[in-house]
Structure 1
Amino acid sequence: MFMQKVDRNAIYTVLFRSGVMFAERAPQKMHPEEELKHLTNLQVIKTLQSLKSRGYVSEQTAWRHFYWCLNNEGIEYLRGYLHMPTEVVPTTLQRRNEPVRMSRTSEDPRSRGPREGKERDDRTMYRRTERPNETDKTGNVGAGTANVEFRGGFGRGRK
């Protein structure tokens, strides 16, 4: 498919910056990406199919959408094609800066620490049984732990 170099460079730039790209399987629709609003989905699909055939992206399809992920060979190819320095990497390969989590104090009502007081006692009382030899319900869970009791007179066959 014939395409202007400016449009192909725009697609490659968006792909390199994010590392992934998608397109709906509606060829006449315009692409929703902000930098590619002037291109149709057909142009984006055909450009990325070209990269896929050369082994630079991997393609996934789901319902009416195509999804492409840039692999290591594709990163090297686009870095050379777009004349990018080696320090620039796609956002999929950048490490996220995890926000520093502040520890919550016990005065905070949303505190998720160990619960104390009445709530904790209610939970332990719920798990206890009335029988002296069985103290915890959690130990009595599973197949074969209950006493099997056969009582006649239930079900079919009894008139």
Structure 2
Amino acid sequence: MRVLVVMGSKSDSGIAEKVIAVLDEFGVDYDVEVASAHRNPEKVERLAKKDYDVFIAIAGLSAALPGAIASHTTKPVIGVPVSAKLGGLDALLSIAQMPPGVPVAAVGIDNGKNAALLAIEILALKNDALRKKLLKYRERMRA
């Protein structure tokens, strides 16, 4: 089980830290990269073709990164819109309004924690130990 966390810019590291904290809590292996869909398209393509189970793409402004990754893989891609401009609404709409055939899951603006939890839910479909950890986590959240 491996997750790739990709930031469109180093300025997104605060959100990436929220993702990483949750993945660490659940013991999920991950890598972190910085790659812009516009400045490093070849790197984005290479990363998307690597052997990860889930991709989390953190992007603001035009938020093309999640869609660029999704265009090169059939694995789940979770987009995290960043509140860089327009309160993040521009990024949210860019992620949520993908064309037919290239789906990207979108979480709330700046909500790296939910992106990590969604990735864990996906991984838990085939991992009982992780599913049990997720159930315990949910029980703690309700208390």
Structure 1 or 2: more helix by fraction: 2
TM-score for the superposition, normalised by structure 1: 0.22
TM-score (norm 2): 0.24
Q: Which has the larger radius of gyration?
A: 1
Higher strand share: 2
Which one has more relative contact order, counting CA pairs under 8 Å at least 6 apart?
2
